[in-house]
Copies of this chain bind each other. A is one copy, B any other.
């Protein structure tokens, strides 16, 4: 059985609506240049505040993908 190697990169996705949407934003962007994305892990959830409201959710994730041979 072949031994795979994966690379893990760190991204911050942002969204005005939700944590899930910020994750989706980051993964969709990564998918433009990296095929074989396999999993992610949320590292940090932050956000900016404007006039007492959350302005942007900022979710930092690690994203893993298969390195081809």
- Point out residues on A near B: beta carbons under 8 Å: 1, 3-16, 18-31, 37-42, 44-49, 51-54, 56-57, 60, 62-64, 67
Contacts and interface: CB of A to CB of B under 8 A. Distances in A.
Instruction: Tell me the dominant secondary structure on chain A's binding face.
Output: strand
Copies per complex of this chain: 12
B3 A16 contact: yes
B14 A4 contact: yes
A47 B31 contact: no
A52 B67 CA distance: 16
B16 A5 contact: no
Contact of A11 (B6, B18, B23, B29): B6
A11 B5 contact: yes
Contact of A44 (B16, B19, B41, B47): B41
